[in-house]
């Protein structure tokens, strides 16, 4: 009776007390709970738990396969990274080797060019000296030729001035006589 008094006190005057419908002593929440128990019992009786377990096992296996594949992919990526690092080091070493070789070749080319330049300068100097010597010889030969021509001209004038036809006749006779003695 105490329960009825408390509920009566909660209801204000003028309001009608309202109660939930029940059937066989259960309200709506009780029937929902009973239905859930029946569904779960049927699932257990018909092997639903095994089916759910198999389904979960399949999902777990699929997730494990994906994890294994991800691990393999990660390992392959790590191997590729290591391989590319090795290739990068090799390429750097090769580039350094090429650069060193190019520097050695450049130094050799510069040295060869320096030697060639010195040889060219020496050749040109010899050629210039040879041309100077040839020009000196030509000039000397021209001076000698002019001197000889001048001497011939001077001798011709001197002979022409000092010798007349009679002196020439005596000179020619003496020369012929000297030649005749040599021939005999």
- Digit-coded pLDDT (tens) for 34-92: 999 998 888 777 777 787 788 899 999 999 999 999 999 999 999 999 999 999 999 99
The domain segmentation of the chain, as residue ranges, is 25-164
Alpha helices in 11-47 (DSSP H): 28-45
Strand partners, 23: 26
Distance set, CA 68 to CA 11, 71, 77, 139, 175 (Å) = 66, 5, 14, 103, 134
Is 8:17 a contact under the CB 8 Å cutoff?
yes
Which range of 4-18, 23-37, 156-170 scores highest in mean pLDDT? It is 23-37
Band of pLDDT at residue 14, cut at 50, 70 and 90: low
Instruction: Return the higher-pLDDT residue of 184 and 117.
Output: 117
Measured distance CA(119)–CA(127) in Å, rounded: 12
Backbone dihedral region of 22: left (phi > 0), alpha (psi from -120 to 50 degrees) or beta?
beta
Question: What is the predicted pLDDT for the residue at 12?
Answer: 60
Question: What is the predicted pLDDT for the residue at 11?
Answer: 54
Question: Hey, CA dihedral for 49, 52, 55, 56, is it positive or negative?
Answer: negative
Q: What are 85's two structure tokens? A: 């690092």
Question: What is the predicted pLDDT for the residue at 13?
Answer: 60
Residue range 18-35, pLDDT digits in tens: 677 777 778 888 889 999
Q: What are 161's two structure tokens? A: 């001035």
Cα–chain center distance at 83: 20
Q: At which residue do the structure tokens 């929440």 appear? A: 29
The model scores a pTM over 0.85: no
Does residue 181 register a pLDDT over 70? yes
Q: Three-state DSSP class for 1? A: coil
Task: Note every long-range contact of 99-103, with CB atoms under 8 Å and residues 24 or more positions apart, other chains counting.
Answer: none
Measured distance CA(98)–CA(91) in Å, rounded: 10
């Amino acid at each position: 009776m105490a329960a009825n008094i408390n509920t009566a006190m909660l209801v204000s005057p003028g309001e009608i007390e309202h109660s939930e419908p029940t059937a066989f002593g259960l309200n709506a929440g009780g029937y929902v709970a009973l239905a859930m128990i029946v569904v779960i019992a049927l699932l257990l009786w018909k092997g639903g738990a095994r089916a759910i377990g198999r389904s979960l096992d399949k999902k777990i296996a699929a997730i494990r396969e994906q994890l294994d594949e991800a691990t393999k992919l990660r390992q392959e990526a790590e191997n590729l990274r290591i391989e590319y690092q090795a290739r990068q080091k090799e390429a750097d070493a090769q580039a350094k080797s090429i650069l060193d070789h190019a520097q050695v070749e450049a130094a050799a080319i510069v040295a060869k060019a320096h030697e060639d330049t010195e040889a060219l300068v020496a050749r040109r100097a010899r050629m210039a000296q040879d041309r100077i010597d040839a020009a000196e010889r030509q000039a000397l030969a021209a001076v000698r030729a002019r001197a000889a021509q001048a001497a011939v001209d001077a001798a011709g004038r001197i002979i022409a001035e000092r010798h007349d036809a009679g002196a020439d006749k005596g000179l020619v006779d003496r020369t012929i006589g000297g030649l005749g003695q040599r021939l005999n």
